[in-house]
Amino acid sequence: MLKVKSAKQVAMTGNDAGAEALKDVNPDVAAVFPITPQTELMHKFSSFVYNGVVDTELIPVESEHSAQSACFGSAAAGARTVTATSSQGLLLMAEICAITSGTRLPIVMPVVNRAISAPVNIGCDHSDSMFCRDAGWIQLYCENVQEVYDTVIQAFRIGEHKDVLLPVMVCLDGFIISHTMEGLEVIGREAVQQFVGEYDPPFSLLDTANPVTVGPLHLSDYYFECRRQVVEAMENARRVIPEVGREYGELTGREYGHFEPYKLDDADVAIIALGSTCGTAKVAVDGIRERGIKAGLLRLRTFRPFPGEEIAEAIEGIGTVAVLDRSISYGLRGGPLFNEIRSFAGGDRPQLVSYVYGLGGREINVSDLETVYADLAGMNDSGTTGELYRYIGLRE
């Protein structure tokens, strides 16, 4: 694949990579409010604003609710708009997040995943973004720092696509990715802006020649139809995400789809997971294969729209599959990712087992995942799974 000429190798944290991507896009408006562990991302971007590196109008606000509200007004006026948040900040935004998607405003928002209270915790899990999984936002999850940079750039093309027009969360694991420095390739402002293009909004509050009403009252006469349009937009995003990923691959050599299979072709057992844990799982796959267990991994990148049929096809023929959730759904047996996959992967094979892990930032390491693979192999050999709903690293 042809590499972009201006690419260069640098070392950055995940937060800095997200800010670098926003800098290269040069959005019109950013409404910002700090919250750990997202704070450094928008601090870095703010420095670009105040040093004149970008032309972005920066709006410091008094809360995350205000940040998303300011983004709503900005996007409705036709501006390319961004923000970022974590944890309770995302929950405080939730009211406006639903309004944003229902109004079809393609805001881009890095979400630095962090546990939600109570008790107060600043460690990583996915409970914040999973809390908003039905808010009508596209959700893309990153494995590493490089993917943060690449996905933030692609998010503009995805959300602003004329067949989509939905807001996008780019999810990165708090501290594990946000504060870890890794090597990555940046492609530079010229290449990024050529890739994302100019934003051409379908309507604008500032277009006085063609006045529109934003935030109208729709009772039973039209509300149902508006919600159905969001469903259709999300379905269109299912096609657009890999299209944008392929085009980005032609530019950079790094192609992205809904998921990444790792040594899955001949696997007898497999893990499906989101986020940084997948990097650890790849090491576990290599290690457990040396012990004679044919293990594989399906790293899921897109959670909304959910690529259920594609996942079911990818794991067809594998004996037992562990679905790892870094979040929990109270009153529902198994985690949210597990139940999403189970709704598509029916029949006797593969057998799905739910594992909840890592809540509140609790570590998961290679040996933990090797144990999971060994357990899955034992289930294959015995023909029985035992308990379908399990925890990793929990003190009962």
pLDDT tens profile 180-237 = 999 999 999 999 999 999 999 999 999 999 998 888 789 999 999 999 999 999 999 9
Q: Are residues 21 and 64 in the same domain?
A: yes
Q: Is residue 329 part of a domain?
A: yes
Q: Is residue 151 part of a domain?
A: yes
- Domain of residue 299, CATH code: 3.40.50.920
pLDDT of residue 348: 60
Q: Are residues 200 and 283 in the same domain?
A: no
Q: Are residues 144 and 184 in the same domain?
A: yes
What contacts 24+ positions apart, CB below 8 Å, involve 215-219?
Answer: 215/99, 215/103
Question: Based on C-alpha coordinates, what's the Rg of the chain?
Answer: 21
The DSSP symbol for 116 reads P
Q: Are residues 148 and 220 in the same domain?
A: yes
Q: Are residues 227 and 362 in the same domain?
A: no
Q: Is residue 40 part of a domain?
A: yes
Distance in angstroms (rounded) separating the CA atoms of residues 59 and 83: 10
Q: Is 51 helix (H, G, I), strand (E, B) or coil?
A: coil
pLDDT of residue 14: 98
Q: Are residues 169 and 227 in the same domain?
A: yes
Q: Are residues 240 and 284 in the same domain?
A: no
β pairing state of 295-300 and 259-262: antiparallel
Amino acid found at 5: K
Q: Are residues 383 and 241 in the same domain?
A: no
Cβ count near 317 (within 10 Å): 13
Per-residue pLDDT of the chain (396 residues; tens, 9 = 90+): 456 777 999 999 999 999 999 999 999 999 999 999 999 999 999 999 999 999 999 999 999 999 999 999 999 999 999 999 999 999 999 999 999 999 999 999 999 999 999 999 999 999 999 999 999 999 999 999 999 999 999 999 999 999 999 999 999 999 999 999 999 999 999 999 999 999 999 999 999 999 988 887 899 999 999 999 999 999 999 999 999 999 999 999 999 999 999 999 999 999 999 999 999 999 999 999 999 999 999 999 999 999 999 999 999 999 999 999 999 999 999 999 999 999 998 666 689 999 999 999 999 999 999 999 999 999 999 989 899 999 999 998
Phi, psi of 303 (to 5 degrees): -105, -35
> What is the separation, in whole angstroms, between the first and last Cα of the chain?
51
- Packed helices 366-382 and 277-289: angle between N→C axes, nearest 10 degrees: 60
Q: Is residue 265 part of a domain?
A: yes
Q: Are residues 71 and 208 in the same domain?
A: yes
Instruction: Name the domain boundary from 232, 252, 272.
Output: 252
Instruction: Name the domain boundary from 204, 232, 252.
Output: 252
Distance in angstroms (rounded) separating the CA atoms of residues 160 and 165: 5
Q: Note whether 305 and 242 are within 8 A (CB).
A: no
pLDDT of residue 1: 40
Strands (E), 114-151: 138-141
Distances (CA, A) of 106 to 159, 341, 384: 5, 27, 46
Q: Are residues 243 and 265 in the same domain?
A: no
Q: Looking at the DSSP assignment, which residues form a beta bridge with residue 393?
A: none
- Two tokens at 302? 């897109």
Q: Is residue 156 part of a domain?
A: yes
Distance in angstroms (rounded) separating the CA atoms of residues 231 and 234: 5
Instruction: Name the domain boundary from 252, 268, 302.
Output: 252
Q: Is residue 3 part of a domain?
A: no
Triad 223, 227, 233: Cα angle to 5°: 145
Q: Is residue 1 part of a domain?
A: no
Distance in angstroms (rounded) separating the CA atoms of residues 1 and 73: 40
Q: Are residues 246 and 265 in the same domain?
A: no
Provide the domain limits for residue 372: 259-391
User: Looking at the 3D structure of the chain, how many domains does it have?
Assistant: 2
Q: Are residues 282 and 207 in the same domain?
A: no
Cβ count near 37 (within 10 Å): 25
Q: Is residue 334 part of a domain?
A: yes
Strands (E), the chain: 8-13, 29-32, 57-60, 81-82, 108-113, 138-141, 168-173, 181-186, 259-262, 269-274, 295-300, 302-304, 320-325, 351-356, 389-391
Phi, psi of 144 (to 5 degrees): -150, 180
Distances (CA, A) of 389 to 49, 329, 381, 382: 48, 12, 19, 18
- Domain of residue 127, CATH code: 3.40.50.970
